[in-house]
Chain A
Amino acid sequence: MLQRHPLLLAEWLAARNLLTRARAHALKVIAAGGAALGAAAVVLVTLRSHFPAVFAWLLAYRVLMLVAVGAYALFAVGRQRRRAEVRYTQFWLAAAPVRQYSRTLAILVVSLLPLAAQLLAVCVLLVAMGLAAGVAAATVGESMLWIAGGAVIGATIGWWSARRSRFDALEGSRYVRQVKARTDTVPSAAALSGWPLAQVRAWGRPDNLRILLMVGMLAVQAGSSALVGLSVVGMWLLGGYLAGLLTAVLQTASMASRWLRSTPIPFTQFAWAVCRRALLYQVIATALTVGLMVILGSPLLSALYVGGLWLAIVLLACSIGLADSYRARRPLIKLALSFAALAIVEVREHGWSIPIAAVLAAWNLRAGAKT
Chain B
Amino acid sequence: MTAIVLEIRDVHARYGRTDVLRGVTLQIRAGQWFCLLGPNGVGKSTLLHCVAARLAPTAGDIAVCGHSVRTHTVDAKCKLGFGCAPEQLPGLLTGRQCLEVYANAKGLERIDPDVVELSEALKFAGYLDRFVDTYSLGTRQKLCVLLALLGEPALVVLDEAFNGLDPGSALVVKRHLQQRLAANRCGVLLATHSLDIVEHYADKAALLLDGKIVREWGAGEIAAIRETGRFEEAMAGSDGVTK
Which of A171, A191, A264, A273 contacts B77, CB < 8 Å?
A264
User: What mask results when residues 94 to 116 of chain B are scored 1 for a CB within 8 Å of chain A, else 0?
Assistant: 10111111111111111100001
Which of B91, B105, B111, B129 contacts A179, CB < 8 Å?
B129
Assess whether B131 is in contact with A190, with CB atoms less than 8 Å apart. no
The CA of A182 and the CA of B125, in the complex, are separated in Å by 11
Assess whether B92 is in contact with A173, with CB atoms less than 8 Å apart. yes
Assess whether A263 is in contact with B131, with CB atoms less than 8 Å apart. no
Assess whether B129 is in contact with A264, with CB atoms less than 8 Å apart. no
Most buried by A among B52, B84, B88, B91: B91
Q: Which residues of chain B come closer than 8 Å to A265, judged between CB atoms?
A: 104-106
Assess whether B105 is in contact with A260, with CB atoms less than 8 Å apart. yes
The CA of A330 and the CA of B146, in the complex, are separated in Å by 30
User: What mask results when residues 304 to 345 of chain A are scored 1 for a CB within 8 Å of chain B, else 0?
Assistant: 000000000000000000000000100000000000000000
The CA of A182 and the CA of B116, in the complex, are separated in Å by 14
With CB as the reference atom, state the residue of chain A lying closest to B115: A185
The CA of A25 and the CA of B141, in the complex, are separated in Å by 35
Q: Which residues of chain A come closer than 8 Å to B90, judged between CB atoms?
A: 195, 255-256, 259
In the complex, A186 has a CB within 8 A of chain B: yes
Which of B82, B101, B108, B111 contacts A262, CB < 8 Å?
B82
With CB as the reference atom, state the residue of chain A lying closest to B111: A185
The CA of A2 and the CA of B107, in the complex, are separated in Å by 56
Which of A192, A261, A270 contacts B54, CB < 8 Å?
A261
In the complex, A128 has a CB within 8 A of chain B: no
Assess whether A262 is in contact with B53, with CB atoms less than 8 Å apart. yes
In the complex, A362 has a CB within 8 A of chain B: no
With CB as the reference atom, state the residue of chain B lying closest to A198: B92
In the complex, B80 has a CB within 8 A of chain A: yes
Instruction: Please report which residues of chain B, range 78-94, place their CB below 8 angstroms from some CB of chain A when the two chains form the complex.
Output: 78, 80, 82, 84, 88-94
With CB as the reference atom, state the residue of chain A lying closest to B92: A198
Q: How large is the interface on B (under 10, 10 to 19, 20 to 34, 35 or more residues)?
A: 35 or more
Assess whether A172 is in contact with B133, with CB atoms less than 8 Å apart. yes
In the complex, what's the smallest C-beta–C-beta distance from A192 to chain B, in angstroms?
5
Assess whether B82 is in contact with A24, with CB atoms less than 8 Å apart. no
The CA of A255 and the CA of B104, in the complex, are separated in Å by 17
Q: B-side binding surface: helix, strand, loop or mixed?
A: mixed
User: What mask results when residues 128 to 143 of chain B are scored 1 for a CB within 8 Å of chain A, else 0?
Assistant: 1101011000000000
Assess whether A171 is in contact with B104, with CB atoms less than 8 Å apart. no
Instruction: Please report which residues of chain A, range 175-192, place their CB below 8 angstroms from some CB of chain B when the two chains form the complex.
Output: 176, 179-182, 185-192
Assess whether A187 is in contact with B103, with CB atoms less than 8 Å apart. yes
The CA of A263 and the CA of B91, in the complex, are separated in Å by 19
Which of A173, A192, A195 contacts B133, CB < 8 Å?
A173
Interface residues contributed by chain A, number (CB under 8 Å)? 37
In the complex, B220 has a CB within 8 A of chain A: no
Assess whether B92 is in contact with A263, with CB atoms less than 8 Å apart. no
Assess whether B53 is in contact with A261, with CB atoms less than 8 Å apart. yes
Assess whether B88 is in contact with A258, with CB atoms less than 8 Å apart. yes
Assess whether B106 is in contact with A185, with CB atoms less than 8 Å apart. no
The CA of A185 and the CA of B146, in the complex, are separated in Å by 13
Which of A172, A182, A187 contacts B111, CB < 8 Å?
A187
A187 in contact with B52 given A195-B92, A258-B88, A263-B77 (CB within 8 Å): no
In the complex, B243 has a CB within 8 A of chain A: no
Assess whether A264 is in contact with B78, with CB atoms less than 8 Å apart. yes
Q: Which residues of chain A come closer than 8 Å to B107, judged between CB atoms?
A: 264
Assess whether A261 is in contact with B52, with CB atoms less than 8 Å apart. yes
Most buried by A among B100, B101, B103, B107: B101
In the complex, A111 has a CB within 8 A of chain B: no
In the complex, A202 has a CB within 8 A of chain B: yes
Q: Which residues of chain B come closer than 8 Å to A187, judged between CB atoms?
A: 100, 103-104, 108-111
Q: Which residues of chain A come closer than 8 Å to B89, judged between CB atoms?
A: 259
In the complex, A353 has a CB within 8 A of chain B: no
In the complex, what's the smallest C-beta–C-beta distance from B182 to chain A, in angstroms?
25
The CA of A195 and the CA of B93, in the complex, are separated in Å by 7
Q: Which residues of chain A come closer than 8 Å to B52, judged between CB atoms?
A: 261-262
The CA of A3 and the CA of B96, in the complex, are separated in Å by 50
Q: Which residues of chain A come closer than 8 Å to B133, judged between CB atoms?
A: 171-173
Q: Which residues of chain A come closer than 8 Å to B77, judged between CB atoms?
A: 262-264
In the complex, what's the smallest C-beta–C-beta distance from A295 to chain B, in angstroms?
34
Assess whether A182 is in contact with B131, with CB atoms less than 8 Å apart. no
Q: Which residues of chain B come closer than 8 Å to A186, judged between CB atoms?
A: 100, 110-111
The CA of A141 and the CA of B17, in the complex, are separated in Å by 47
Instruction: Please report which residues of chain A, range 246-282, place their CB below 8 angstroms from some CB of chain B when the two chains form the complex.
Output: 255-256, 258-266, 269-270, 273
In the complex, A364 has a CB within 8 A of chain B: no
Which of A192, A199, A264 contacts B106, CB < 8 Å?
A264
Q: Which residues of chain A come closer than 8 Å to B16, judged between CB atoms?
A: 24
The CA of A262 and the CA of B90, in the complex, are separated in Å by 15
In the complex, B74 has a CB within 8 A of chain A: yes
Assess whether A173 is in contact with B131, with CB atoms less than 8 Å apart. yes
Assess whether B84 is in contact with A259, with CB atoms less than 8 Å apart. yes
A189 in contact with B129 given A262-B52, A262-B84, A264-B74 (CB within 8 Å): no
The CA of A219 and the CA of B60, in the complex, are separated in Å by 62
Task: Provide a sorted-by-A list of 19 A–B residue pairs whose CB atoms are within 8 angstroms.
Answer: A24-B16, A171-B133, A179-B96, A179-B97, A185-B96, A185-B103, A185-B128, A186-B111, A189-B101, A190-B100, A191-B94, A191-B97, A199-B92, A202-B92, A259-B88, A262-B82, A262-B84, A264-B74, A265-B104
Minimum-distance CB pairs A-B, first 8: A191-B97, A187-B103, A262-B82, A265-B105, A173-B131, A263-B105, A262-B52, A264-B77
State the A residues within 8 Å of B (CB): 24, 171-173, 176, 179-182, 185-192, 194-195, 198-199, 202, 255-256, 258-266, 269-270, 273, 328
